[in-house]
């Protein structure tokens, strides 16, 4: 058997290796901290190609920032803002200024016979109708393309086409060379920025966000204009700042609470230093675990992992209290090992979650608890009968009073447990438990920023729209597939308002079709009357397709960059659909392999709902497994009593949480999973050591510190964190109250000695 001295040597050796490994990973590892909420969610059930397309398009959009200004001095403010933004190296400015009508017209000139509107196609069958259409275009002052194209395209098909498509593409208007939008009788001037950094990089996003917000504030105050802005960058900066504030605040309050507990119980700073040492090592172990297994570590993982402090201190309190008894170290090692194993198993279940956030939290906690366990086992014999760890006499008296209360409850536990069980069953039967799987549970952006996003969507007329993503291995196939999708959507719901690049860049095959229609009409002399009346000729040239490559090299390349992106598996584009999609349309979209209804919130909420159902089954399996383990270890009676105590604690937590929040979510259930892992730790100590003063005191101190740690999460501004924290807080509270009733009746009490806990 391994001796204590050899164990200490092994402990010191592994600690040095762990610290060296941690230092190397910290300095040279490929890990990074990020705040992308989508990265921590379950993978949606879509093809790899569509997933890559979705990620590529989102990666393109996340670097965009939009600014809108309005006010009496808006033009002066606009120019001043552009000048200041030019001084920021990582910001590329687009004033949303479109090419001139002349530039656009000249660009399309070589392809003038490839573009026809539906109205023009209809007129190709009748010479007089075509004549009327051409003459109406000439006299139509609202079409600026007529004067620019009539010289080289007097059929005016190109003029009508470009005017129609540009009007359909955007609701923006041009004023004094700049793009504007109107909202609530105000004219807003728009500026688009591209950030040359990862919008989910915490440090970079916070730095650039601060720079931009400082510039925006100075412009607003100097020129007295209204200025709003939006972009992923600001959500990242605000969310990360909030998470950092919560980490520091919650961690500080937890530490202060633990410090006060230690000082009240032991009146010595020695256990405080030991506790801080154990907690610090646990955090180091947990951090190393994250750096070893994950390249992208989400900031929200650290918010949940603050709870490690509450669990690790459990080991410390049991160790400190045990040092006041006359029992050997082995008396504590067994329940500590059993407690760690069962808690770690609970976190292993969480680690199997498809949500990266929960996997990361589980890895952090398992590694952290392992580090804490090894440390307390290494120092336990050294602390035995340490004068600096003497429990205050007033505390031992309080512990004995608590023992008396628990003994009374044990004597009447049949009625108490039966009553609690009936109440729980009655509540579940009568009160309807409802779930909310909305992804917005993960959103922690401030209200003012969400309001900015809403205003921007109104300015761009993009509110209440659906985005469709199309994937294809080649650009030609991509454009054709887009046209196919639009045709299908229009055939099902003709009233849908569809906007995208498809009008300005039809597929070469569609351009060829239009060219052949013009050629046929030319042979049938459909254009003769109209051209004769204008006194112009329009000879048909050879077919020449406008390709994506040519389009990208032209004056409208910025528009192409908005809608089309190339990734490792091919090409992807998106277009918008305004209008409610009916059931048949939604069903058709869901059946397409390379076409996706881009509704991330809905898709992920659906995934959360599905995972919630699976988690309920997982909880039942975990509960059954715990029951079998407890029965195998402690017999049928004590095993079932322990299981009942754990089950009632979990159900009570659900009931109270549901009464307060009205809705449950997946994070409440994950809290229940954690409660099972923690509650069994309490039960094991009661079963192994009974209702004794040292056991009660250690569990009481552990429960208080854990409630404090988890209770802090209940005040988080992120609903998911809040749900998790409140459920676990209630669960630990009920576990503390109910778990002692599962223990055997102890032997008669012995006399209490001052400064030393009663061992009975």
Q: What is the pLDDT of residue 755?
A: 44
pLDDT digits (tens, 9 = 90+) for 700-741: 888 888 787 777 788 887 777 788 888 988 998 999 999 999
Q: What is the pLDDT of residue 45?
A: 53
d(CA 680, CA 276): 25
Domain contains 482: no
Q: Residue 752: is its pLDDT beyond 50?
A: no
Q: What is the pLDDT of residue 197?
A: 67
pLDDT digits (tens, 9 = 90+) for 389-403: 777 788 888 888 888
Q: Residue 349: is its pLDDT beyond 80?
A: no
d(CA 322, CA 582): 67
pLDDT-wise least confident of 183-187, 225-229, 689-693: 689-693
Asked if 250 and 216 count as a contact pair (C-beta separation under 8 A), the reply is no
Binned at pLDDT 50, 70 and 90, residue 754 comes out as: very low
Q: Residue 383: is its pLDDT beyond 80?
A: no
User: For 142, phi and psi rounded to 5 degrees?
Assistant: -75, -10
Q: Which residues contact 646 (CB under 8 A, 6 or more apart)?
A: 623, 626, 675, 676, 679, 680, 683, 735, 739
As a whole-number percent, the residues of the chain with pLDDT over 70 amount to 87
Q: Mean pLDDT throughout 174-198?
A: 81
Q: Mean pLDDT throughout 556-564?
A: 85
Burial 210-243 (b: 16+ CB within 10 A, else e): ebbeebbeebbeebebebbbbbbbbbbbbbbbbb
What does the DSSP 8-state code read for residue 753?
B
Domain contains 477: no
Q: What is the pLDDT of residue 750?
A: 46
Q: What is the pLDDT of residue 627?
A: 85
Binned at pLDDT 50, 70 and 90, residue 55 comes out as: low
Domain contains 65: no
Q: Quick one: three-class SS letters along 20-60?
A: HHHHHHHHHCCCEEECCHHHHCCCCCCCHHHHHHHHHHHHH
Q: Mean pLDDT throughout 351-376?
A: 84
Helix (H) or strand (E) holding 297: strand 296-298
Asked if 755 and 391 count as a contact pair (C-beta separation under 8 A), the reply is yes
d(CA 664, CA 658): 6
Domain contains 690: yes
Q: Residue 622: is its pLDDT beyond 80?
A: no
d(CA 486, CA 472): 15
Q: Residue 574: is its pLDDT beyond 80?
A: yes
Q: What is the pLDDT of residue 747?
A: 53
Binned at pLDDT 50, 70 and 90, residue 751 comes out as: very low
Range of the domain at 333: 4-30+267-432+602-742
Q: Is pTM, for the whole model, over 0.85?
A: no
Binned at pLDDT 50, 70 and 90, residue 300 comes out as: low
Q: What is the pLDDT of residue 110?
A: 94
DSSP string computed for 624-683: HHHHHHHHHHHHHHHHHHHHHHHHHHHHHHHHHHHHHHS-B-HHHHHHHHHHHHHHHHHH
Q: Residue 613: is its pLDDT beyond 90?
A: no
Domain contains 689: yes
Domain contains 161: no
pLDDT digits (tens, 9 = 90+) for 247-273: 778 878 877 887 887 788 888 778 888
pLDDT-wise least confident of 43-57, 72-86, 600-614: 43-57
Domain contains 40: no
Q: What is the pLDDT of residue 36?
A: 58
Q: What is the pLDDT of residue 509?
A: 95
Q: What is the pLDDT of residue 392?
A: 79
Q: Mean pLDDT throughout 454-468?
A: 81
d(CA 746, CA 411): 11
Q: Mean pLDDT throughout 153-167?
A: 88
Q: Residue 543: is its pLDDT beyond 90?
A: yes
Q: Residue 310: is its pLDDT beyond 80?
A: no
Q: Quick one: three-class SS letters along 115-149?
A: CCCHHHHHHCCCHHHHHHHHHHHHCCCCCCHHHHH
Q: Which residues contact 59 (CB under 8 A, 6 or more apart)?
A: none
pLDDT-wise least confident of 236-245, 366-375, 657-666: 236-245
Q: Mean pLDDT throughout 472-488?
A: 94
* More confident position, 314 or 657: 657
As a whole-number percent, the residues of the chain with pLDDT over 90 amount to 19
- The average confidence (pLDDT) of the chain is 82
Binned at pLDDT 50, 70 and 90, residue 46 comes out as: low
Give the chain's domain count.
Answer: 1
Cα separations in angstroms, 448 against 205, 264, 537, 717, 747 = 18, 44, 59, 14, 63
Binned at pLDDT 50, 70 and 90, residue 473 comes out as: very high
Domain contains 284: yes
* More confident position, 644 or 27: 644
pLDDT digits (tens, 9 = 90+) for 65-82: 889 999 999 999 999 998
């Amino acid at each position: 058997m391994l001796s204590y001295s050899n164990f200490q040597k092994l402990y010191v050796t592994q600690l040095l290796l762990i610290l060296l490994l941690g230092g190397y990973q910290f300095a040279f590892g490929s890990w990074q901290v990020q705040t992308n909420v989508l990265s921590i969610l379950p993978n949606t059930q879509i093809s790899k190609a569509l997933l890559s397309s979705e990620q590529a398009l989102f990666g393109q959009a996340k670097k965009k920032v939009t600014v809108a200004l309005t006010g009496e001095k808006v033009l002066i403010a606009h120019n001043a803002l552009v000048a200041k933004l030019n001084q920021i190296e990582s910001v590329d400015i687009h004033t949303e200024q479109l090419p001139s009508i002349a530039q656009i017209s000249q660009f399309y000139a070589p392809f003038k016979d490839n573009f026809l509107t539906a109205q023009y196609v209809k007129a190709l069958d009748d010479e007089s109708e075509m004549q009327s259409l051409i003459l109406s275009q000439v006299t139509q002052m609202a079409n600026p393309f007529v004067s620019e194209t009539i010289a080289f395209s007097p059929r005016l098909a190109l003029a009508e086409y470009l005017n129609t498509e540009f009007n359909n593409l955007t609701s923006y208007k041009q004023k004094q060379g700049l793009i504007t939008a109107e909202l609530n009788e105000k004219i807003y001037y728009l500026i688009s920025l591209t950030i040359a950094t990862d919008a989910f990089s915490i440090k970079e996003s916070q730095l650039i966000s601060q720079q931009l917000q400082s510039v925006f504030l100075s412009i607003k105050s100097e020129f007295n204009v209204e200025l709003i802005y939006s972009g992923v960058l600001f959500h990242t900066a605000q969310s990360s700042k909030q998470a950092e504030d919560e980490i520091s605040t919650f961690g500080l309050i937890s530490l202060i609470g633990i410090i006060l507990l230690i000082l009240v119980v032991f009146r010595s700073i020695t256990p405080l230093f030991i506790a801080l040492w154990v907690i610090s090592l646990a955090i180091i172990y947990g951090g190393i675990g994250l750096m070893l297994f994950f390249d992208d570590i989400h900031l929200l993982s650290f918010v949940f992992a603050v709870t490690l402090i509450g669990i690790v201190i459990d080991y410390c309190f049991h160790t400190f209290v045990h040092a006041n008894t006359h029992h050997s170290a082995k008396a504590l090692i067994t329940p500590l090992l059993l407690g760690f194993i069962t808690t770690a198993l609970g976190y292993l279940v969480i680690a199997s979650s498809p949500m990266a956030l929960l996997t990361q939290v589980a890895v952090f906690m398992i590694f952290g608890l392992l580090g804490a366990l090894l440390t307390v086992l290494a120092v336990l014999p050294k602390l035995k009968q340490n004068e600096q760890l003497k429990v205050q006499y007033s505390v031992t008296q309080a512990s004995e009073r608590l023992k008396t209360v628990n003994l009374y409850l044990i004597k009447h536990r049949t009625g108490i447990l039966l009553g609690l069980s009936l109440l729980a069953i009655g509540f579940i039967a009568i009160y309807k438990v409802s779930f909310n799987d909305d992804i917005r549970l993960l959103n922690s952006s401030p209200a003012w920023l969400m309001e900015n996003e809403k205003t921007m969507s109104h300015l761009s007329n993009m509110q209440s729209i659906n985005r469709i993503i199309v994937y294809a291995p080649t650009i030609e196939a991509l454009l054709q597939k887009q046209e196919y999708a639009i045709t299908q959507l229009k055939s099902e719901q003709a009233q849908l308002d569809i906007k995208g690049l498809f009008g300005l860049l039809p597929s070469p095959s569609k351009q060829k079709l239009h060219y052949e229609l013009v050629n046929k009409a030319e042979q049938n002399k459909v254009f003769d009357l109209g051209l004769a009346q204008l006194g112009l000729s329009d000879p048909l040239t050879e077919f020449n397709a406008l390709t994506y490559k040519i389009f990208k090299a032209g004056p409208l390349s910025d528009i192409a960059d908005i809608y089309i992106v190339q990734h490792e598996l091919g090409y992807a584009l998106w277009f918008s659909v305004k209008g409610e999609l009916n059931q048949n349309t939604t069903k058709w979209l869901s059946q397409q392999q390379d076409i996706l209804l881009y509704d991330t919130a809905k898709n992920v909420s659906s995934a959360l709902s599905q995972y919630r159902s699976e988690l309920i089954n997982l909880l039942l399996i975990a509960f059954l497994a715990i029951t079998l383990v407890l029965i195998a270890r402690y017999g049928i009676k004590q095993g079932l009593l322990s299981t009942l105590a754990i089950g009632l604690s979990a159900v009570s937590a659900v009931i109270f949480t549901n009464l307060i929040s009205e809705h449950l979510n997946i994070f409440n259930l994950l809290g229940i999973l954690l409660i099972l892992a923690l509650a069994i730790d309490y039960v094991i100590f009661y079963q192994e050591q009974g209702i004794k003063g040292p056991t009660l005191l250690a569990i009481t101190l552990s429960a208080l510190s854990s409630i404090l740690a988890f209770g802090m999460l209940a005040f988080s501004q992120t609903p998911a964190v809040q749900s998790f924290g409140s459920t676990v807080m209630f669960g630990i509270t009920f576990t503390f109250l109910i778990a002692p009733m599962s223990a055997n009746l102890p032997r008669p009490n012995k006399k209490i000695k001052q400064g030393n806990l009663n061992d009975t």
